[in-house]
Amino acid sequence: MDIAIFAKAPQPGAAKTRLIPALGAAGAARLQRRLTLNALRLATRLPGRNVMLWCAPDIHHRFFRALHTRVGVTLCCQLGTHLGKRMANAFAVHGGPLLLIGTDCPAMQTGHLHTAARLLQNGHDAVFIPAEDGGYVLVGLRCPQPRLFEDIDWGSESVMAQTRERLTELGLRWTEPATLWDVDRPSDLARHS
């Protein structure tokens, strides 16, 4: 099963913007770089998995090009006006079973990815790892489900609750094997240190 990583370019002023008051623009960009490298290391530890880095705003940033050259990761461009459209597009382009993670969850371990892949292979339509703040840090789908990403209040504490309602509405069989924390706000930084 392939793994998609959604990553923003580590550009000062555009990356981890909610952390700029605590870290400054350059510090927030450096943290974005470290988190992306961590997510990439995590995903590439699973043997036999194709890892794709879905880049924003595009694949041309020198950091992404260097990762492609050094690690051989496939670069794809995130397309869509909001996070839901971008995720739906990644699943549509891929077509088959796919795990999608962001870069904001240093608590995620290889075992979480392995468990999520196994659950999809064993018959679940979807697997999620919710975040403590109400979002999620991993979504895995056996096949594209574009409605799953429509009309969700992205960036709010109700993302996972709304997603559960949509999963029920669509009649999908899903599981949530863990709940993890992510790094979004200055208060999250102490846990990451």
Q: What are 72-102's pLDDT values in tens digits?
A: 999 999 999 999 999 999 999 999 899 999 9
pLDDT for position 49: 85
Q: C-alpha distances in angstroms, 136 versus 42, 47, 176? A: 17, 24, 10
**Cβ-contact 126, 140 below 8 angstroms:** yes
Alpha-carbon dihedral sign for residues 117, 119, 122, 125: negative
CATH number at residue 54: 3.90.550.10
Return the pLDDT at 187.
Answer: 83
Residue 53 to residue 10: CA distance in whole angstroms = 14
State residue 154 phi and psi, 5-degree precision. Answer: -60, 140
The tens place of each residue's pLDDT in the chain, 193 residues long, gives 899 999 999 999 999 999 999 999 999 999 999 999 999 999 999 888 899 999 999 999 999 999 999 999 999 999 999 999 999 999 999 998 999 999 999 999 999 999 999 999 999 999 999 999 999 999 999 999 999 999 999 989 999 999 999 999 999 999 999 999 999 888 888 876 5
How many independent structural domains does the chain possess? 1
What is the spatial distance between Cα 70 and Cα 124, in angstroms, rounded to a whole number?
35
Q: What is the mean pLDDT of the chain?
A: 95
Range of the domain at 140: 2-192
Report the predicted TM-score, pTM, of the whole model to 2 decimal places.
0.95
Q: How far is residue 117's CA from residue 58's CA, in Å, rounded to a whole number?
A: 28
pLDDT at 182: 94
